[in-house]
Chain A
Amino acid sequence: MQLKFSIKSTTHYIPFLRRLVEVFDKTSSEVVLDHKAKMSCTLALVEAVNNAIFHAHKKKAEEWIDIFIQINKSKVYIEIHDNGEGFKMPETDVPPLEHTHGRGLFLINSLMNKVVYDSNKSNVLKMTYFL
């Protein structure tokens, strides 16, 4: 099962995105996701979109974020496309405790099994959770 859609670069869609993986799970007859998979993929999706909104697009709500989600028996695969400046994938060390920012990409790397950032032609964050 897969879904491709675009949203404007605003946090207004976060409540919708938080429910999306659960809806996929309930709708699909092929795959049943356990709670850990749902939680991990949902948070990674939200963090990736937050990253696009706040860092790539600098909160410019007129920008688009393209999202692709695919779920099959072996994995959950999520792509997030933005049009902003690229970034350097940070180290996977735990961010300093007292820092108020910088945990988003760390959480994505911690929760998902494979994370690839491709900024050759456009910016694409590709995240995979193996079932």
Chain B
Amino acid sequence: MKLEVSTKGDIAIFRCQGSLDSDSIASFKKTAYDMFEKGTVKYVIDASGIDFVDSMGLGVLISLLRKVKQENGDIKIASLTPDVQTIFEITRLYRLFDVYDSPREAIAKFKES
């Protein structure tokens, strides 16, 4: 998976391309956790380029969410592709993650709160 990271103030924006699965989660996890250790607790995941996610990919997102929530942070997910939307629906992860139609909306929600 290709990962591009940018920031907008104290919000980290992860633009992901490819598959978030058992073979690719290591790089995502390392990048996210390194940023968390340096104080980043707000993440927007631009999922427009994620064409496949497995349960381990979901697990990494949940694990990061648990960490940031302890520090009053959050993860907002944007632009889910149809296949990944289906997985979110099956696993009911819409109840755990805030999901938005675009990264811009997700960033705006961070700024509102």
Q: Which residues of A contact B (CB under 8 A)?
A: 11-12, 14-15, 18, 39, 42-43, 46-47, 50, 53-54, 94-95, 97-104, 106-107, 110-111
Q: How far is the CB of B41 from chain A (nearest CB, A)?
A: 17
Residues of B contacting A111 with CB < 8 Å? Answer: 90
Q: Which residues of B contact A (CB under 8 A)?
A: 19, 21-23, 52, 54-56, 58-60, 62-63, 66, 83, 86-87, 90-93, 95-96
- Given A12-B23, A95-B91, A97-B93, output 14 extra A-B contacts at Cβ < 8 Å: A11-B21, A14-B19, A15-B19, A43-B54, A43-B87, A47-B54, A50-B56, A94-B92, A99-B62, A100-B62, A103-B91, A104-B55, A106-B91, A110-B90
Residues of A contacting B23 with CB < 8 Å? Answer: 11-12, 14-15
Q: List 8 A-B contacts (CB under 8 A).
A: A14-B19, A14-B21, A14-B22, A50-B54, A95-B91, A98-B62, A104-B56, A107-B55
Q: How far is the CA of A50 from the CA of B55 in the complex (A)?
A: 9
Determine the residue in chain B with the shortest Cβ distance to A11: B23
**Looking at chain A's contact residues, is the secondary structure mostly helix, strand, loop, or mixed?**
helix
Q: Is the CB of A46 within 8 A of B21?
A: yes
Q: How far is the CA of A97 from the CA of B63 in the complex (A)?
A: 11
Residues of A contacting B86 with CB < 8 Å? Answer: 39
Q: How far is the CA of A102 from the CA of B95 in the complex (A)?
A: 17
Q: Is the CB of B96 within 8 A of A97?
A: yes
Q: How far is the CB of B21 from chain A (nearest CB, A)?
A: 6
